Amino acid sequence: MRIFIGYGYNERDKWVEDYVFPLIAAMDCEIGHGKAVYGGALSEEIIKAIRASDAMIGFTTRREAADNGEFHTHEWVVQELTTAATARDPSIPWVEVREEGVRSPGGILEGAGAQRIEYKEADRAGCLVRIAQAVQRFQAQTKITTVRLGPATATDEISALLDMPHSAAPAKRCAAGASFPRVPFQCSPCKGRCWFSSEASPR
């Protein structure tokens, strides 16, 4: 499973790299982020990386002070979360980790009414526990595997089968020498690929 992590690239938020990254890696997940190309509007590279991920966690931590004792957050993290929240076919599960005192980003994120994880610097351990629980939920609900078709000759032969909006076929999954029972997979065409999902499919 690949999880994209949006966060502040500064010393104050270095705890995300020091604690969250190892935690997620220990849960057998790959990590994606946009640290190398952050700043300004989201690049096409980052948008593609988010949409190619299985889930996203965005850390809306404190930046400059706003009024009423609140704080602004990282605009690029809000943009990254919005990209995940608006993804379709397949959708991308996401969660916002919002630091205490940070002003609501509003817009699509607030309108989604999604449950978020509260972060208090004095209770970082509790936040890490809730992040681990969120990753477990991602792993349980994310059952979509993307398969690239190839070579081109094979793709041409079976492309006609993908013209229907939905098609199903039994399939058998093998991994690390283990073989799992045949289960029905619901298939859909997607630009030279097909993606399929099954609740019975071990990830």
Tens digits of residue pLDDT in 94-115 = 999 999 999 988 888 877 778 8
Task: Confirm whether 203 is domain-assigned.
Answer: no
CB 50 within 8 A of CB 76: no
Mean pLDDT of the chain: 80
Residue 42 DSSP one-character state: P
Across the beta sheet with 2-6, the strand order is 30-32, 2-6, 55-60, 94-99, 117-119
Residue 17 within any structural domain of the chain: yes
Q: 64-80 b/e with 16+ CB inside 10 Å = b? A: eeeeeeebebbebbbbb
202 occurs within a structural domain: no
Q: What is the pTM of this model?
A: 0.70
Which domain-ending residue is among 95, 114, 141? 141
Q: Say yes or no: 133 and 152 in one domain.
A: no
Counting the structural domains of the chain, the total is 2
Residue 16, phi then psi, degrees to nearest 5 = -65, -45
Domain membership of residue 43 as a residue range: 2-141
Are 136 and 86 in the same domain?
A: yes
* CATH number of domain containing 120: 3.40.50.10140
Same domain, 149 and 132: no
Do 122 and 173 belong together in one domain?
A: no
Q: Note the pLDDT of residue 201.
A: 46
Q: Are residues 134 and 152 in the same domain?
A: no
> Quick one: pLDDT band at residue 138, thresholds 50, 70, 90?
very high
